[in-house]
Structure 1
Amino acid sequence: MSRRRRLRSRMLALVLVGSLAGLTAVGGPAIADTLSDKRAAAKKQEQENAAKREQLAASLEGLSAELGQALLDLQAMEQRMPQAQAELAEAQESLDRSQREATLVAARLQDALDQEVSIGSTIEQDTARATRIRESIGQMAREAYKGGGTATSMDIVLGAKSTEEFIEQYGLVSTALRTQTNTLDELRELQAQNANSQARLEAVRGRVQELKAEADEKVVEADAARAQAQERKDEIQQLISQQAAKKAQIEDQKAAAEAEAAAADAEAAKIAAELAAIAAQQRAAEAAAAAAAGKPQAPAGPVGGSLFANPTSINPMYVTSNYGMRLHPTLGYVRLHAGIDLRTYCGTPIYAGRAGSVQWAQYRNGFGNQVMVDHGLVNGSSLMSSYNHMTSFSVRSGQRVEQGTLLGYSGNTGTSAACHLHFEVYVNGGTQDPGPLLGR
């Protein structure tokens, strides 16, 4: 098959290709018209997605790492879906545009090819006509040579034997002369037309080559757009399948998650009981000291004010989840989030928020690696703080620490979905919102 026929076949296939409109219904945010708007919208969406991931990770405390990761994966898929659908719509639009442009280029190319054929045919016809005229002129020249040359008007006057003969001969000569003149004029006109046709033919041939190159480019563009659209379609179908699999996995693990949550709640209750016992001992010791001094023991008062410094290396301190009741995203019940979650990154330093002594530095079920710092009595009330999910310790039980002392490094131990610091404050063995005590 010739190059021209191959190109025309590809262009025809491009024009007749089926629409991808039935791939998947598109949705999500509108695509901005300008590149700067698109970048701004993409950055904003990325920031919103990051905030949602952080919020979800904070809400997953009390779940196993496997289930927490499954939930994070599911959220990532759900966040990716609108973007993939928007990219599919953009690829479809690009394919449609390429097809429209390819149709126009194909029409222009066909018109140029038709002109090339038409001009070529005209040149062939004019050349054949010029050849015949030259042959006719040559024949007339040969006949004139054989007859002794062309008769002049004087020859006709002197040679005529009668008026009638003169008129007849003069008419024949005049007709022959006019015929020769017309023939030469036609030859010159054909030569000029041929020169003009040749110039037009060269111009058309150049345009044909340009259009062929442009047509090849349009084919490449359309192929790329079609491939991009197919990739997005495949990705969307894969996301749908993966979402279904993740949801099934999460559903299967709900029973285990409920058991883990119950175990974490039991551990929290155990810790509270231990701290309440320590608080009672502290109050008893204070009462004994007051009695020995002959003074009454001061009543236990509220604990308030900015008592703690930022325990993280992130400055300013950034809260990802506050203290209070919240709905569990998987189990569907409302439970107390007994601390405040602060943004940290894996392996970043964790510092003591206030001076005190380390009550323990050990692994606690659900809390992971935990450092509990005893700050003694404040306004007659026992005050303690805990630093949870740490990856490693830098202190030991019984050690005295000052505000800013390195306790260890942030991690994701226990039932945590991402590296962060879960910071809790205990007053007389019960948790209290750490936010106001951190100056929040």
Structure 2
Amino acid sequence: MRRTARHGGLAMVVAVALATFLLPQAQADDNPKDKKRAVDEQVQQLGEDLDEQNAEVKAAGSALADAEAKLPPAQAALASARTALASAEQEQFDAALSLAATESHAEQALIEYLGAQGQMRAHREALAALARQAYMGGDFQRLSVVMNAQSPEDLTSAMSYYETVNRSEKQVLADLNALQADLETKQAALDESHERILAEQKSAAAAVETTTRARNTATAAQAQVQTLIAARGVALEKAEDLKDEIEARLAVMKAESDRLAEVIRKRAEAARKAAEKTGKKIVQGTGLLSRPVSGPITSPYGMRYHPILHRYKLHTGTDFGVPSGTAVRAARDGTVIEAYYNSAYGNRVVVDHGYVNGVYLVTTYNHLTRDTVSRGEKLERGEVLGYSGSTGYSTGPHLHFETMEDGHFVDPMRWLE
């Protein structure tokens, strides 16, 4: 089983990887197992460090995507909170103005009430004076004046005087009643003003509380936006730092894919020429492939958007989520053309199935913990060729399974039963 250590940087990884993927071409005349052992020794110091760097790249991409996804709604929440705060502050201002106006009206009502009380007091004093005067004189005095009249003119004058006094008394009583009614009205107005003040004070207090809550919400929203902006900045900076490393890794993967495609094309051409030379037709198989492992598909074949590089790249195979150490089986009868370690694909087995359904078909099994086959070995469908793992550019145990037609990657699901 191949093991790796936590030492070495990406530059070393790339250098070893470039040397590694060139090794299989030179193995034709050498013992494959000896060459393979040499490669194992070269990469032994790199594996876990690769895993850590993969996790770092994945974490940076996830952090950037997460921050960019959360920032717009957070900014919208901040804008909403600021609008609510402005509304609450306006409500508080209006409530304060209304309370001030109500208090002013209450003061005016109090002044009018006190004025009415003063008028009421003055009229009561006037009425009391009339009452005393009437009590002191009484009806006997009025009768004496009438009896002592010397002429009709005296009598008329006396009667006129008492009628005037009587009218004055009635007017005082009427004014007193009017003042009493006015006083009661002003008392009611004063009471209403007091009630309005209490209500306005409650409204003002509620407005202050609403403003405080809105301000706290806006402050929290602002803090969240600032946190997300800072997180995005850190993620962007980290992503920028990792770009060169990622580009280097992708270059390794592309170089390996190009190399393998060329190997397949040469084998297909060699098979064709051999058939032409012997005058025999190329033997072609038919049918589909068996699944190399039994497990769920965690990542299908297809284009993927890279959150750090901001471009699409092809995911060249189908990932099966299986635990490390799961037996990986040949999808079809074939010949092992390569079994080696690559910094991108980890422990890798490549099986040549020859011409099938009109195309030259090859399958690859990647990120293995270890393989159990050698170059040139014949395999039957279902035969164990290795065990799943997480070597190479991988962040967790799985099998990355690829199918190539005439040297080109195609969707494995087109072939799987």
Q: Give the TM-score range, shorter chain.
A: 0.5 to 0.7
1:415 to 393, 400, 404: 393
The Cα shift of 1:214 comes to 1.9
1:239 pairs with 2:239: no
Range that drifts further, 110-119 or 360-369: 360-369
Q: Does 1:72 align with 2:62?
A: yes
Aligned-partner SS, 1:147: helix
Q: How far 1:181 sits from its partner (Å)?
A: 1.1
Aligned letter for 1:176? V
Give 3-state SS (helix, strand or coil) of 2:296's partner: coil
Large movers: runs of 4+ above 6 Å: 269-277, 303-306, 308-311, 326-329, 344-348, 350-354, 357-363, 369-377, 395-401, 417-421
The reply to whether residue 195 of structure 1 matches residue 195 of structure 2 is no
CA contact (8 A) 1:362 1:370 kept: yes
Superposed CA deviations along residues 322-349 of structure 1, whole A, max 9, x for unmatched, are 4xxx897656899x7361456x88979x
Q: Secondary structure at the match of 1:64?
A: helix
**Which digits, 9 at most, give the CA deviation of each residue in 1:356-378, with x for residues without a partner?**
48979997532357687887874
% same residue:
26
Q: What displacement does 1:321 show?
A: 2.9
CA distance 1:158–1:244, change in 2 (3 Å): same
Matches within 5 A, 1:212-227: 212-227=201-216
Indicate how the Cα distance of structure 1 residues 193 and 367 shifts in structure 2: closer, same or farther if over 3 A, else same: farther
Amino acid at match of 1:337: L
CA distance in 1, matches of 2:202, 2:64: 47
Q: CA deviation at 1:264?
A: 3.7
Are 1:298 and 1:380, in contact at CA under 8 Å, matched by a contact in 2?
no
* Secondary structure at 2:402 match in 1: strand
Partner of 2:104: 114
Q: Give the deviation of 1:131 after TM superposition.
A: 2.1
Q: CA 1:307/1:199 → structure 2, altered by over 3 Å: closer, same or farther?
A: farther
1:4-37 Cα distance to aligned partner (Å, 9 max, x none): xxxxxxxxxxxxxxxxxxxxxxxxxxxxxxxxxx
Q: Aligned residue pairs: how many?
A: 354
Which residue of structure 2 lines up, in the alignment, with residue 182 of structure 1? 171
Equivalent in 118, 125, 135 of residue 135 of structure 1: 125
Other-structure match for 1:123: 113
Deviations 1:63-108 (A, max 9, x none): 8331332233223222333222222221222222223333333333
In the aligned structure 1, how far is the partner of 2:149 from the partner of 2:301?
Answer: 128
Contact persistence 1:319–1:340 (CA under 8 A)? yes
Q: Which whole-Å deviations, capped at 9, do the CAs of 1:404-431 have from their partners, x for residues lacking one?
A: x9x988x976435799875411357x34
Structure 2 counterparts to residues 346-385 of structure 1, below 5 A? 355-356=331-332, 365-367=343-345, 378-379=356-357, 383-385=361-363
Cα offsets for 1:198-244 (capped at 9, x unmatched): 33333332232222222222222222222322333333334334333
SS at match of 1:160: coil
Letter in 1 for 2:183: N
Contact 1:98 1:221 in 2 (8 A): yes
CA distance in 2, matches of 1:272, 1:425: 11
Tell me, in whole angstroms, the C-alpha distance in 2 between the residues paired with 1:333 and 1:98: 46
Structure 2 CA distance for aligned equivalents of residues 115 and 66 of structure 1: 71
Instruction: Determine whether 1:230 maps to 2:207.
Output: no
Alignment of 1:387-426 (within 5 A): 414-415=392-393, 422-426=400-404
> What is residue 313 of structure 1 aligned with on the other side?
296
Q: Name the residue aligned to 2:45.
A: none
| Structure 1 residue 433: Cα displacement | 0.7
1:357/1:400 contact within 8 Å kept = yes
Q: The residue matched to 2:404 in structure 1 has which SS?
A: strand
Deviation digits for residues 121-156 of structure 1 (CA, Å, limit 9, x no counterpart)? 22222222222222222222223323345754x554
Quick one: distance in 2 between partners of 1:378 and 1:219?
79
CA offset digits 1:357-400 (Å, max 9, x no partner): 8979997532357687887874587745446568x89x976998
SS of the residue 1:426 aligns to: strand
Normalised to the residue count of structure 2, the TM-score between the two structures is 0.63
Cα 1:218–1:333 change in 2 (3 A) is closer
Residues 103, 197 of structure 2: 8 Å contact kept: yes
The letter for the 2-side match of 1:432 is F
Shift in CA distance, 329/313, structure 1 to aligned 2, threshold 3 Å = closer
Whether 1:90 and 2:80 are equivalent positions in the alignment is: yes
Partner of 1:161: 150
The 5 Å alignment of 1:182-331 reads 182-265=171-254, 268=257, 298-299=281-282, 307=289, 313=296, 319=300, 321-322=302-303
Q: 1:432 aligns with which of 398, 409, 412?
A: 409
Verify the 8 A CA contact 1:361 1:372 in the aligned structure 2. Answer: yes
User: Structure 2: which 5+ runs fail to align?
Assistant: 1-50
More divergent stretch after superposition (179-188 vs 229-238): 229-238
- The 1:355–1:389 alpha-carbon spacing in structure 2 relative to 1, beyond 3 Å, is closer
Q: Which amino acid aligns with 2:316?
A: G
Amino acid at match of 2:296: S
Q: Which runs of 5+ in 1 are unaligned?
A: 1-60, 288-294
- Residues 317, 411 of structure 2: 8 Å contact kept: yes
Decide which structure has the larger Cα Rg and report it: 2
Structure 1 residue 268: Cα displacement: 4.8
Change (3 A) 1:370 1:200: farther
Pick closer, same or farther for the CA change 1:110–1:377 going to 2, 3 Å: same
CA distance in 2, matches of 1:345, 1:209: 69
